[in-house]
Amino acid sequence: MDEYIEALLKEIELTLFHQPVSEAETIYIGGGTPTSLSASQLDRLLSGVHELLPTHTTKEFTVEANPGDLSEDKMLVLKNHQVNRLSMGVQTFDNRLLKKIGRKHTAEDVYSTIQLLEKHDFQNVTIDLIYALPGQSIESFRDTLTRAIDLGLPHYAMYSLILENKTMFMNWVRQGRMALPSQEAETQMFDEAIAAMNKAGLTQYEISNFARPGYESLHNLVYWNNEHYFGFGAGASGYLGQSRYKNKGPIQHYLKPLQENQLPIHEIEELTTSNQMEEELFLGLRKKAGISKIRFAEKFGKSFQEIYGSTSEQLIQKGWLASQGDRVFLTKAGMFIGNEVFEAFLLDGEK
């Protein structure tokens, strides 16, 4: 782990040597497990980040945490390094389901971590929840939703379970060893979540994200606004200029080029103008506010109407899309079938 931390800092140093930056408005240390580091390792990582990046310009500095992993000494390290936002992967408050999906923490660990955060007056906290888990009933989900909202946090993220090919879960579903909730139940869970969050004063500012005013994730808005960012670490992805890149994933494959003062990039994808337009729509429409026609024209030199006029009209007639003034955004019905809407904006070839 010490070797990995030093390699990660070296990657940042090598990258910024070639592409120096004068500001870093958001920093996000993720991967789910930064708090599995010891306090001294966490201190070394964050010290290195401050040495290499212009953190005096940073408005939002997020670290992901596992419930139960955050101890008093680690909390002090975070505070000492001006980390001002914490993201915690809770998933569910149902201990039976947590065990089923292979999570090590319990609901009790979540409460003890929240108590520690309150003790240190750490106010900008978000938790991730997953719905449509295997064997999850509507009643179990409602209990999780109630317990989550009762924490009174300023931000929540909520995602449905996505099964990937060649994973244990997908194999179990195919073998009939594990049942997922029906599409109707999944839709009901999402619908009830939106209603409960709104009732609690949390605005759904993105399909899967809810926040009190002023607590929207600045870092995630960089993605949804289709802006540029660096990605550092094993398996990390970044977006610079007209290129998206991905680092080598397995740790040893990541470490080897850095030992030779080379960047650990696995692949680079050069985006055509069509690709960039598509991504502007896919990502921007995830936000409740949708996309700006003016910004689209400024960015691509062509009007939204010229490129997507007929497509958007068809989607508006279906009740999936709306247009008001400068903004184009998903309706509530469109949010439930976002992927179908996004597919309609795929372009044929370069435009």
What does the alpha-carbon distance between residue 336 and residue 191 come to, in Å, rounded to a whole number? 9
Q: Is the pLDDT of residue 167 over 90?
A: no
C-alpha closest to that of 83 among 26, 139, 134, 38: 26
pLDDT in tens, 150-165: 999 999 999 998 766 6
pLDDT in tens, 264-280: 999 999 999 999 999 99
Structure tokens at 316: 């508006």
CB 338 within 8 A of CB 285: yes
**What pLDDT does 292 receive?**
97
Strands 125-131 and 60-65: unpaired
The band of 134, judged by pLDDT with boundaries at 50, 70 and 90, is: confident
Structure tokens at 311: 């497509």
Strand partners, 131: 160
Kind and range of the H or E run holding 237: strand 237-240
What does the alpha-carbon distance between residue 18 and residue 21 come to, in Å, rounded to a whole number? 10
pLDDT in tens, 3-25: 999 999 999 999 999 999 999 99
CB 85 within 8 A of CB 59: no
236 exposure class (CB count in 10 Å sphere: 0-12, 13-18, 19+): buried
Across all residues in the chain, what is the average pLDDT?
93
CB 235 within 8 A of CB 246: yes
The band of 351, judged by pLDDT with boundaries at 50, 70 and 90, is: very low
C-alpha closest to that of 124 among 82, 94, 70: 82
Helix, strand, coil percent values for the chain (each to nearest 5): 45, 20, 35
**What pLDDT does 204 receive?**
97
